[in-house]
Chain A
Amino acid sequence: MTSAIDTPAGPPPERHPVGFTASGSEYFRIWIVNLLLIVVTLGLYLPWAKVRKLQYFHANTWVDGDALGFHGEPAKMLRGTLIAAAFLIVYSVGSHFSGWAALLAALAFVGLWPALFRASMRFRLANTSWRGLRFRFTGDTAGAYGALLPPLALALLPFAVAGLTVESGEGGRPAAPSAAATSLIGLCMLVFVVGLPFFLWKLRRYQHGHYAYGGLQTRLDADVGVVYGVFIKLIGLTLAVMVLAGLGVGLLIGIGAIGRQGSGMGVAMVATLMIFAIGGVLLFNILPKSYLQVRLQNLLWSTTGNEVLRFDSRLKLGPFLRLQLKNYLLIFLTLGLYWPFAVIGTRRAQLEAVTLETRTPLDELTRAAGEEDPSAAGDMAADLFGLDIGM
């Protein structure tokens, strides 16, 4: 099903595995010092902290003996941070106000988000270098709106509109949402859920189809059907695990009933509850999230490239799932202090699963004409909104 990038006949490609040399303990030290500076400056240090983090991550990401570089300038990013923070405050407070304010906030959000997303991609790539050349993001604004507007509108606007109909209930006494509003929300949710893999595929095609390095631009050759396949398998997997978990719970209750005569009921209860809690988290959070991350990374990156350059991603689900289990457990046990180790471990697994295959000498790429320096405003904005540009 996966349609690979067309490869011309010829000598086999050169393979360059991606390496990641960052260490959890060093990132822990960077993280603590950054956090302190963010807290004492009441957030103004955010861009500096972010640049330091990205520089550390980039300087430790090696492809063919060369590390990536990050060149963003914090002072320029500060303006974006302030704009984004103001926007975020207006949005989050505004949506609690009245129906009209919430609708306005939602409209502004939906209307601006795609532009912010594109600005963020452009900034991030234009400030990332490898072997002395900057990357570029060549996606246009129309593409960003085409990819992001439908899912955003489906997810946010129905609630805002429904809130408005509640607001305008008779005599100033709010009424329950009308049947029409409820069915509108229901319909939009249904379209959103059924369309989710399609929206995701469109977004990723927009992203992976517009990465450029030197004169080379990538494209994404994955079919939307394959993305649907991943989601359908995820549903099947979740159902299967739920059946197994149900059997396990039944077994535990059975054992509990036998053990009831004996003492130590309290301990047994606590242990059972613990198993339920951990099992629940595993089942409904870690397993589906890891499954999606692994399958989508492999699918999307293995089908990204062009005639002379392509990626191959072989992230394995089992080890990745074990890693995430360990991460969540240790973050929980250390009250969050393990977080930087978890981030580095996850990043290492994701990056080191990727290989770059090239059919062109890496020394002979040159900068494309007309490179520009996109504004930094978008990047911090996207960051504050928790946008993951999925790199």
Chain B
Amino acid sequence: MSPVTDTLDARYFDGRSSRPRSARLHVADGQLHIAPAATEPATFEPLAVPIAQVRWPERTRHGGRLASLPGGASVQALDVSGWDDWCARTLPGRESHVVRAQQSWRGVALALVLLLAATAAVYQWGLPWIARGVTALVPQQVDTLIGAEALASLDESMLRPSALPADTQERIRRAFTRMVAGAHPEGAPPWNLQFRQGRDDKLGPNALALPGGTIVLTDALVQLLPGDEDAVLGVLGHEFGHVRLRHTMRQLVQASAVGFAVSIAFGDFGTLIGTAPVILATLGYSRDAEREADEESVRLMRAAGISPRVMAGFFEAIERWRGDQARGGRNDSAIGLAFATHPATAERIAFFKAAAE
């Protein structure tokens, strides 16, 4: 062995025994040569492995170095910093960008910024896009089934039959049918309107869109603005937006995807810390869904020749009702929930007013 050769002392394991052998490494002709250390009697046959077939360890600040050879043999570093220096000299340019990035704080800071940007982009566009695609794959009957189950359980817990006169119900239903047909002459997804009232005052003026096209309207909402059924139609238009865009199904997909992503990022320490981002993301997506439904409501009202301005009056009436409830000292947990998922009322009033211009 000529003295100019750049060698490295290491430990060689043949993969069949746990006995380490002192070895000397050097690189020549694109091959890694492993020979018994000169100071000892030869304990194994010298061998050569093409550089490309060696799985080299990545450079880290801590930890040992182990290069795997084909067939289960391996070479391990005696002196880690000596190993790294030797690799840099004899195998220049082999280190990946990934290793270089994770070994420099500047690279990591850049990665963190890019990570935040990429996460924001996936959250804003990627995930909704995927969720729309997945939702499109789910047959409509699934929505119908879930919706029927949801209505049945609501009927058992929170709702009772409507007390509105049949002709009022019929008038609203007909007006809404005309409205949907006007905005979607090419045909609209199926929907059906159900009149109900809450079992107690908590539910108040409210409307719900269930998967599969069922829209539940409470009597209190119809009575909130007596004689002004345009606002009721606006609310129905909003709920129809949820139906048309299959928001429930999409949110189901989005929530599972966020939960999945969080569990990948934070593998351990899961349950407790993992739930917060999922809840936050779901709330954010709900607000987006409400905005989309408001846009659909405006489209339907325009098609029916109703000014979106009526919705401003409706929200003011809702605010008055909330104020009354609060003064009455009634439990406002249901309202708190609505606050969290809906965009601020002022923002929505402004949106409908702007749409009326």
Contacts and interface: CB of A to CB of B under 8 A. Distances in A.
A134 B72 contact: yes
Nearest to A175: B152
Contact of B115 (A23, A39, A66): A39
Interface string B232-267: 000000000000000000001100100010011111
A29 B115 contact: no
B13 A39 contact: no
B115 A132 contact: no
A174 B18 contact: no
Interface stretch (B97-105, B295-303, B340-348): B97-105
A36 B63 contact: no
A21 B80 CA distance: 13
Contact of B118 (A36, A89, A96, A285): A36
Contacts of B269: 327-328, 331, 339, 342-343
Contact of B98 (A33, A69, A131, A281): A33
Interface residues of A, number: 65
Contact of B19 (A35, A174, A363): A363
Interface string B314-335: 0000000000000000000000
B171 interface: no
A215 B68 CA distance: 22
A141 B131 CA distance: 37
Overall SS of chain B's interface: helix
A386 to B, nearest CB: 6
Nearest to B119: A39
B2 interface: no
A46 interface: yes
Interface stretch (B53-61, B185-193, B194-202): B53-61
Nearest to A344: B62
A131 B108 contact: no
Nearest to A331: B273
B142 A366 contact: no
B246 to A, nearest CB: 13
Interface in B1-51: 13-20
B156 interface: yes
A386 B263 contact: yes
A172 B148 CA distance: 9
Interface string B80-117: 00000000000000000010011101011001101100
Interface in B100-148: 101-103, 105, 107-108, 111-112, 114-115, 118-119, 122, 126, 134, 138, 142, 145-146, 148
A37 B98 contact: yes
Interface string B267-300: 1111111000100000000000000000000000
Nearest to B156: A176
Nearest to B152: A174
A110 B105 CA distance: 45
A168 interface: no
Contacts of B115: 32, 35-36, 39
A236 interface: no
Nearest to A26: B61
A66 B11 CA distance: 10
B65 A59 contact: yes
A276 interface: no
Contacts of B172: none
Of the four ranges (under 10, 10 to 19, 20 to 34, 35 or more), the interface on chain B belongs to 35 or more
Contacts of A55: 57-58
B355 interface: no
Contacts of B74: 69, 129, 132
A341 to B, nearest CB: 11
Given A30-B102, A281-B272, A174 B63 contact: no
Given A35-B265, A67-B66, A285-B272, A367 B60 contact: no
Given A55-B58, A71-B55, A132-B13, A96 B63 contact: no
B64 interface: yes
A155 interface: no
Nearest to A133: B18
A21, A32, A46, A342, most chain B CB atoms within 10 A: A32
B62 A32 contact: no
Contacts of B256: 92-93
A192 interface: no
Given A26-B62, A38-B264, A39-B122, A366 B16 contact: yes
A218 to B, nearest CB: 16
A317 B171 CA distance: 70
B61 A131 contact: no
Contacts of A88: 260
Given A174-B152, A281-B272, A98 B142 contact: yes
Contact of B63 (A67, A281, A363): A67
B145 A365 contact: no
B18 A97 contact: no
A22 B63 contact: yes
B59 to A, nearest CB: 11
Nearest to B260: A88
A124 to B, nearest CB: 15
Contacts of A267: none
A23, A37, A39, A365, most chain B CB atoms within 10 A: A39
B175 interface: no
Given A131-B20, A366-B18, A36 B114 contact: yes
Task: Please give me the 9 A-B residue pairs with the lowest Cβ-Cβ distance, nearest first.
Answer: A132-B13, A67-B64, A59-B63, A60-B63, A365-B18, A131-B18, A69-B66, A36-B115, A363-B19
6 contacts: A38-B264, A40-B118, A96-B146, A343-B269, A363-B17, A364-B17
Interface of A: 21-23, 26, 28-30, 32-33, 35-40, 42-43, 46, 52, 55-56, 59-60, 62, 66-67, 69, 71, 88-89, 92-93, 96-98, 129-134, 166, 172-174, 176, 214, 281, 285, 327-328, 331-332, 336, 339, 342-343, 346, 362-367, 386
Given A93-B256, A336-B273, 16 more contacts: A29-B107, A30-B102, A36-B114, A40-B114, A40-B118, A59-B66, A92-B256, A93-B253, A97-B146, A130-B18, A132-B18, A132-B20, A132-B73, A132-B76, A362-B18, A386-B263
Interface of B: 13-20, 55, 57-58, 60-66, 68, 72-74, 76, 98, 101-103, 105, 107-108, 111-112, 114-115, 118-119, 122, 126, 134, 138, 142, 145-146, 148-149, 152-153, 156, 252-253, 256, 260, 263-273, 277
